[in-house]
Amino acid sequence: MSRSILILLAHPLPDSLCAALARTYADNARRAGHQVTLLELASLQFDPLLRHGYRQSQPLEPDLESAAQALQACDHLVLVYPTWWGAMPALLKGFLDRLLLPGFAFRYRRGSVWWDRLLAGRSARVITTMDTPPWYYRWLYSDPGIAQLRRTVLQFCGIAPVRVTRLGPVRSSSPARRQRWLQAIARLGAAGR
Ligand SMILES: Cc1cc2nc3c(=O)[nH]c(=O)nc-3n(C[C@H](O)[C@H](O)[C@H](O)COP(=O)(O)O)c2cc1C
């Protein structure tokens, strides 16, 4: 089944492992017949500060307008980022702060603690690189960035299931190991998962 896939690459460097992973996912997904949009967040023009919280609206820059349309149009979202200080880099956090607005991503019900999840019907894959061994990050640090992204961001907006690929330690990895990681991501791309 062909899917409409939006890939968000949140790494500033084009020669990073993250960039290679995002491109590999995109190339293999396209080759398998999926519709793919790859957004490199570092090259978008937008203010990553939500300057008034939710008190006052802040007009979306054209790049954020396009990103919002791409998110509406996709049925699978892929986020690729390096783990920095235990979680997503500020670039991705700022992008999500600006984009996932009430009325677009969620809506609180009047007089209730509950809310509607306006992005339901989409699944996600999180791909993150790290220097910590992933088992250590997951079980000793309690998976902080993943818990945040999966439960309090993506599932909050209705995006589920959220599958995760943690890759590391990058710092001490051999070229052969990185090649195996790229092959694993190629298979995910081809499957649109
Ligand atoms: C500002 C910064 C903070 C980092 N914090 C962490 C961290 O909390 N945990 C970790 O495992 N690695 C951390 N790292 C290492 C990166 O995760 C690692 O360099 C990256 O995943 C390598 O992949 P890349 O080539 O795609 O950048 C940090 C790196 C930087 C630059």
From first to last of its 193 residues, the chain has per-residue pLDDT tens of: 899 999 999 999 999 999 999 999 999 999 999 999 999 999 999 999 999 999 999 999 999 999 999 999 999 999 999 999 999 999 999 999 999 999 999 999 999 999 999 999 999 999 999 999 999 999 999 999 999 999 999 999 999 999 999 999 999 999 999 999 999 999 999 999 9
From 7, 18, 24, select the one nearest 185 (Cα to Cα): 24
Share of the chain above pLDDT 90, in %: 99
Q: Would you say the CB of residue 129 lies under 6 angstroms from ligand 1? A: yes
Q: Would you say the CB of residue 11 lies under 6 angstroms from ligand 1? A: yes
Give the three-state DSSP class for 118: coil
- 113 C-alpha vs ligand 1 centroid, how far in Å? 36
Predicted confidence at residue 1, as pLDDT, reads: 84
Give the three-state DSSP class for 59: coil
Q: Which two tokens stand for residue 66?
A: 């396009």
- Kindly report, residue by residue over 132-180, the tens digit of the pLDDT: 999 999 999 999 999 999 999 999 999 999 999 999 999 999 999 999 9
- Residue of 15, 91, 126, 131 to mutate, ligand 1, most atoms within 8 A of C-beta: 131
Predicted confidence at residue 27, as pLDDT, reads: 98
Beta-strand pair 4-9/106-108:
unpaired
Q: Would you say the CB of residue 133 lies under 6 angstroms from ligand 1? A: no
- 132 C-alpha vs ligand 1 centroid, how far in Å? 8
From 145, 53, 163, select the one nearest 92 (Cα to Cα): 145
Range of the domain at 146: 4-191
- Give the whole-angstrom CA distance, residue 100 versus residue 56: 15
Return the CATH number at 36: 3.40.50.360
Predicted confidence at residue 15, as pLDDT, reads: 96
- Give the whole-angstrom CA distance, residue 188 versus residue 173: 21
Predicted confidence at residue 48, as pLDDT, reads: 98
The residues, ordered by sequence, that sit 6+ positions from 80 with a Cβ below 8 Å of its Cβ are 7, 8, 9, 10, 11, 18, 21, 22, 25, 127, 128
Q: Would you say the CB of residue 80 lies under 6 angstroms from ligand 1? A: no
Predicted confidence at residue 189, as pLDDT, reads: 98
What's the structural domain count of the chain? 1
Predicted confidence at residue 117, as pLDDT, reads: 98
Query: Where are the strands (E) in the chain, listed by range?
Result: 4-9, 35-40, 76-82, 106-108, 115-117, 123-129, 162-167
Q: Would you say the CB of residue 123 lies under 6 angstroms from ligand 1? A: no
From 66, 67, 9, 2, select the one nearest 29 (Cα to Cα): 2
**Ligand 1 atom index nearest CA of 131:** 11
- 169 C-alpha vs ligand 1 centroid, how far in Å? 9
Q: Would you say the CB of residue 16 lies under 6 angstroms from ligand 1? A: yes
Q: Would you say the CB of residue 119 lies under 6 angstroms from ligand 1? A: no
Predicted confidence at residue 77, as pLDDT, reads: 98
**76 touches 124 (CB < 8 A):** yes
**Ligand 1 atom index nearest CA of 16:** 25
Q: Would you say the CB of residue 131 lies under 6 angstroms from ligand 1? A: yes
